[in-house]
Amino acid sequence: MQNHRWLRTPDGTAPRISFGADYNPDQWPREVWDDDVRLMKKAGVDVVSVAIFSWAKLQPNADTWDFAWLDELIDLMHDNGIGVDLATATASPPPWLTMAHPEVLPVTAEGNTLSQGARQHWRPTSPVFRRHALTLVEKLAERYGSHPGIVAWHVNNELGCHNAYDYSDDAARAFRAWLAARYDTIEGLNHAWGTAFWSQAYGSFEEVLPPRLAASFPNPTQQLDFLRFSSDALTDHLVAEREILTRITPDIPVTTNFMIVGDTRHADYAAMAREIDFVSNDHYVTQDRDELAFSAAITSGVARHRPWFLMEHSTSAVNWQPVNRPKRSGELVRDSLTHVAHGADAVCYFQWRQSEAGAEKYHSAMVPHGGEDTRLFRDVVGLGGILQGLGDVVGSDREPAEVAILFDWHSWWGSELDSHPTELLRYRREALEWWTALVDAGVRVDVVPTDADLAGYRMVVAPVLYSVPAALRDRLEAYATGGGHLVTTYFSGIVDENDHVWLGGYPGAFRELLGVRVEEFRPLYEGEGVALSNGASGSVWSEPVDVVADDVEILASYEHDELGAAVTRRPVGSGSAAYVSTRLGVVGLARLVPELLAGAGVAPELPEPLRGSVELASRRGAAGRFDFYINRTDEPVSLDGVAGAFLHGSAELAARGVAVVRA
Ligand code: GAL
Peptide bond before 351: cis, by omega within 30 degrees of 0? yes
**Is a pLDDT exceeding 80 seen at residue 11?**
no
pLDDT value for 9:
84
**Is a pLDDT exceeding 80 seen at residue 37?**
yes
Give, in degrees to the nearest 5, the angle at Cα 371 between 365 and 375.
Answer: 75
- C-beta of residue 629 within 8 angstroms of C-beta of residue 609: no
Give the residue, by CA position, lying nearest to ligand 1 atom 12.
Answer: 318
Distance separating alpha carbons of residues 356 and 347, to the nearest angstrom = 24
Distance separating alpha carbons of residues 400 and 603, to the nearest angstrom = 15
| Residue closest to 577 by CA, chosen among 471, 470, 403, 460 | 460
pLDDT value for 62:
97
Determine the residue of 350, 354, 360 to mutate for testing ligand 1's pocket, defined as the one with the most ligand atoms within 8 A of the Cβ atom: 350
pLDDT of 106-131, one tens digit each?
Answer: 999 999 999 999 999 999 999 999 99
Which ligand 1 atom sits closest to the C-alpha of 314?
12
- DSSP state letters, 147-205: -TTEEEEE-SSSTTTTTS---SHHHHHHHHHHHHHHHSSHHHHHHHHTTTGGG---SSG
pTM for the full predicted model: 0.98
Give, in degrees to the nearest 5, the angle at Cα 325 between 319 and 327.
Answer: 110
Which residues are near ligand 1 (CB < 6 Å)? 157-158, 161, 282, 284, 312, 318, 350, 360, 363
Distance separating alpha carbons of residues 407 and 468, to the nearest angstrom = 13
pLDDT of 215-252, one tens digit each?
Answer: 999 999 999 999 999 999 999 999 999 999 999 999 99
pLDDT value for 356:
98
Give, in degrees to the nearest 5, the angle at Cα 5 between 234 and 312.
Answer: 55
Cα 161 to ligand 1 centre (Å): 9
- C-beta of residue 221 within 8 angstroms of C-beta of residue 208: no
Peptide bond before 507: cis, by omega within 30 degrees of 0? yes
Cα 315 to ligand 1 centre (Å): 13
Q: Is 103 exposed, middle or buried (0-12, 13-18, 19+ CB in 10 A)?
A: middle
Which ligand 1 atom sits closest to the C-alpha of 257?
8
pLDDT band of 596, cuts 50, 70, 90: very high
pLDDT value for 13:
81
- C-beta of residue 269 within 8 angstroms of C-beta of residue 302: yes
pLDDT value for 175:
99
Which ligand 1 atom sits closest to the C-alpha of 53?
9
Give the residue, by CA position, lying nearest to ligand 1 atom 2.
Answer: 158
Strands (E), 477-548: 485-489, 516-518, 530-531, 537-538, 545-547
pLDDT of 357-388, one tens digit each?
Answer: 999 999 999 999 999 999 999 999 999 999 99
Distance separating alpha carbons of residues 215 and 499, to the nearest angstrom = 21
Could you give the C-alpha distances from 480 to 458, 460, 463, 473, 596, in angstroms and in order? 9, 9, 16, 11, 14
Length of the chain: 663
pLDDT band of 3, cuts 50, 70, 90: confident
Cα 274 to ligand 1 centre (Å): 23
Which ligand 1 atom sits closest to the C-alpha of 259?
7
Give the residue, by CA position, lying nearest to ligand 1 atom 3.
Answer: 350
Cα 350 to ligand 1 centre (Å): 6
> Which residues fall within 8 angstroms of residue 363, CB to CB, at 6 or more apart?
314, 317, 318, 319, 320, 350, 351, 354, 355
Cα 241 to ligand 1 centre (Å): 21
Which ligand 1 atom sits closest to the C-alpha of 52?
9
Give catalytic residue positions. 158, 312
Give the residue, by CA position, lying nearest to ligand 1 atom 11.
Answer: 350
Distance separating alpha carbons of residues 516 and 468, to the nearest angstrom = 17
Distance separating alpha carbons of residues 238 and 256, to the nearest angstrom = 8
pLDDT band of 86, cuts 50, 70, 90: very high
Cα 22 to ligand 1 centre (Å): 9
Distance separating alpha carbons of residues 580 and 566, to the nearest angstrom = 6
- C-beta of residue 311 within 8 angstroms of C-beta of residue 281: yes
Cα 158 to ligand 1 centre (Å): 8
Cα 155 to ligand 1 centre (Å): 15
pLDDT of 626-647, one tens digit each?
Answer: 999 999 999 999 999 898 999 9
pLDDT of 454-470, one tens digit each?
Answer: 999 999 999 999 999 99
b/e string for 446-466 if b means 16 or more Cβ within 10 A?
Answer: bbbbbebebeebbbbbbbbbb
Give the residue, by CA position, lying nearest to ligand 1 atom 5.
Answer: 350
Determine the residue of 88, 257, 282, 314 to mutate for testing ligand 1's pocket, defined as the one with the most ligand atoms within 8 A of the Cβ atom: 282
User: How much is the average pLDDT of 420-449?
Assistant: 98
Determine the residue of 119, 157, 158, 260 to mutate for testing ligand 1's pocket, defined as the one with the most ligand atoms within 8 A of the Cβ atom: 158
- C-beta of residue 380 within 8 angstroms of C-beta of residue 365: no
Tell me the Ramachandran region of residue 117: left when phi exceeds 0, alpha when psi lies from -120 to 50, beta otherwise: left
**Is a pLDDT exceeding 80 seen at residue 2?**
no
Which ligand 1 atom sits closest to the C-alpha of 318?
12
pLDDT of 246-289, one tens digit each?
Answer: 999 999 999 999 999 999 999 999 999 999 999 999 999 988 89
Cα 342 to ligand 1 centre (Å): 22
Distance separating alpha carbons of residues 532 and 546, to the nearest angstrom = 16
pLDDT band of 1, cuts 50, 70, 90: low
Mean pLDDT rounded to a whole number for the chain: 97
User: How much is the average pLDDT of 24-49?
Assistant: 98
